[in-house]
Chains A and B, each alone.
Chain A
Amino acid sequence: MNRRPGPLVTAVGRALDVLPTILALIAEGSWIAVVYALLRGASHEWIELGPVVLAGFAGAGLLIGRVLAPRLGGRWPAWAVVITVLAAAAGWLNAATTWSALLSPTPTAALGVNPGGWITGLAFLRGLGYARPSSPDGAVRSPMPVGLPAVVVSFLIGGLIAEPGRTVFRDAALVSTIVFVATATLALALTRASTLGRASGFDWRGNRTWFGLLLVFVTGILVVAVPASYAVGPAVMVVIAALPVPLFFLGLTVGLDRRLLRVLLVLLAVVAVLVVIVRLIGPHPGGPDAGGATGGAAGPTATPDWLTLVGGVFVLVLAAIAVGALAAIWMRQAPAPDDGAVAEERTIDHGVGSTSRTPRRFHLRLRRQREPTDASSAYLATLRELAADPPLERRADETPAEHARRLRSSGAGARFGAAVDLLAADYELVRFGASALTPGEHRRALGRWRRIRALVHRRPTAG
Chain B
Amino acid sequence: MSEVALGIFLVVIASFLGVPAIILLGLVLVATGAVQEVWGRRGLDGIEYRRHLPSPHGIVGDEIAIDISVWNRKALPLAWLKADDEAAAGVVVRERDLVRAESGESVLRNAWTLAPYERVVRHFHVLAERRGVYRIGPAQLAVGDLLARPAATGASPGIDVWTVRPRSVAVRAVVSDQRWGGELKARRGLLDDPTRYAGIRPYQPGDPLRGIHWRATARLGHPVSKRFDPARQREVVVALDIETGIGPAGADRYDDELVESLCVAAASLVRQLRAEGATVGLAAAAHSEGTRTMAYVAPGGSEGQLGRCLDLLARLSSFPSAPFERLLAMLVRSVSPATSLVVLSARDPSPYLPALRGIERSGYPVWHLGFGPAAPALIARARAAAIASSPAQLDGPWRTATALLVGP
List chain A positions with a Cβ less than 8 A from chain B.
Answer: 148, 151-152, 155-156, 158-159, 170, 173-174, 177-178, 181, 185, 188-190, 192-193, 196-197, 199-204, 206-210, 213-214, 217, 221-222, 224-226, 228-230, 232-237, 240, 274-275, 278, 282, 296-302, 304, 340-351
Contacts and interface: CB of A to CB of B under 8 A. Distances in A.
Interface stretch (B126-134, B143-151, B280-288, B344-352): B143-151
B148 A189 contact: yes
27 contacts: A148-B25, A151-B21, A151-B22, A156-B17, A189-B79, A189-B147, A193-B80, A196-B80, A196-B144, A196-B148, A197-B80, A197-B113, A199-B111, A209-B115, A214-B147, A217-B146, A221-B28, A225-B27, A230-B23, A275-B16, A282-B17, A344-B120, A344-B123, A348-B117, A349-B117, A349-B118, A350-B117
Contact of B122 (A197, A237, A344): A344
A210 B79 contact: yes
B249 interface: no
B82 interface: yes
A177 B25 CA distance: 8
B79 A204 contact: yes
A430 to B, nearest CB: 13
A210 B96 contact: no
Nearest to A271: B16
Contacts of A237: 15-16
B114 A181 contact: no
B292 interface: no
Contact of A349 (B21, B109, B111, B119): B119
Contacts of B73: 351
B96 to A, nearest CB: 7
Given A200-B109, A300-B15, A221 B31 contact: yes
Contacts of A174: 20-21
Interface in B65-118: 71, 73, 77-80, 82, 94-96, 109-118
B123 A236 contact: no
A296 B82 CA distance: 48
Contacts of A155: 14, 19, 21-22
A25 to B, nearest CB: 19
A340 B31 CA distance: 37
B15 A207 contact: no
A274 B15 contact: no
Given A178-B24, A185-B147, A192-B144, A202 B15 contact: no
A217 B119 contact: no
Given A192-B79, A196-B111, A348-B115, A233 B25 contact: no
Contacts of A196: 80, 82, 111, 144, 148
A344 B113 contact: no
Contacts of B17: 156, 159, 278, 282, 300
Contacts of B19: 155-156, 158-159
Q: How large is the interface on B (under 10, 10 to 19, 20 to 34, 35 or more residues)?
A: 35 or more
A181 B112 contact: no
A151 to B, nearest CB: 7
Contacts of B110: 200-201
A350 B82 CA distance: 22
Contacts of B5: none
B7 to A, nearest CB: 10
A213 B146 contact: yes
Contact of A299 (B18, B35, B94): B18
A416 B369 CA distance: 68
Contact of A240 (B12, B120, B121): B12
B113 A232 contact: no
A202 B23 contact: no
Nearest to B23: A229
A342 B96 contact: yes
Contacts of A236: 11-12, 15
Given A148-B25, A206-B113, A207-B115, 9 more contacts: A152-B25, A192-B148, A197-B80, A200-B80, A207-B79, A207-B113, A229-B23, A341-B94, A343-B122
A234 B19 CA distance: 11
Given A156-B17, A221-B31, A237-B16, A189 B25 contact: no
Contact of B80 (A185, A202, A278): A202
A226 B22 CA distance: 10
Contact of B113 (A181, A202, A302): A202
For the complex of A and B, list the 6 residue pairs with the smallest distance between their C-beta atoms, beginning with the closest: A200-B111, A192-B148, A236-B15, A229-B23, A207-B113, A229-B24
A341 B28 contact: no
Given A202-B111, A225-B31, A347 B118 contact: yes
Nearest to A236: B15
B343 to A, nearest CB: 46
A193 B82 CA distance: 11
A156 B19 CA distance: 8
A203 B78 CA distance: 12
B18 A233 contact: yes
A214 B146 contact: yes
B10 interface: yes
Given A217-B35, A340-B95, A208 B18 contact: no
A159 B21 CA distance: 11
Contact of A207 (B10, B20, B77, B121): B77
Given A185-B147, A193-B79, A282-B17, A210 B24 contact: no
B156 interface: no
A302 B115 CA distance: 43
Nearest to A283: B18
Contacts of A233: 14-15, 18, 20, 23
Nearest to A358: B75
Given A155-B22, A233-B15, A193 B113 contact: yes
B20 A344 contact: no
- Which among A177, A202, A345 has the highest number of chain B CB atoms within 10 Å? A202
B21 A342 contact: no
A214 B112 CA distance: 17
Given A193-B80, A193-B144, A232-B11, A304 B20 contact: yes
A301 to B, nearest CB: 7
B254 interface: no
Nearest to A366: B116
A152 B123 CA distance: 49
Contacts of A347: 118-119
Contacts of B12: 236, 240
Given A152-B25, A201-B111, A236-B12, A185 B32 contact: yes
Given A197-B113, A203-B113, A214-B146, A348 B20 contact: no
A274 B95 contact: no
A221 B147 CA distance: 13
A38 B19 CA distance: 14
B124 interface: yes
A242 B234 CA distance: 99
B119 A278 contact: no
B111 A346 contact: no
A329 to B, nearest CB: 18
Given A193-B80, A202-B113, A302-B20, A228 B123 contact: no
B29 to A, nearest CB: 8
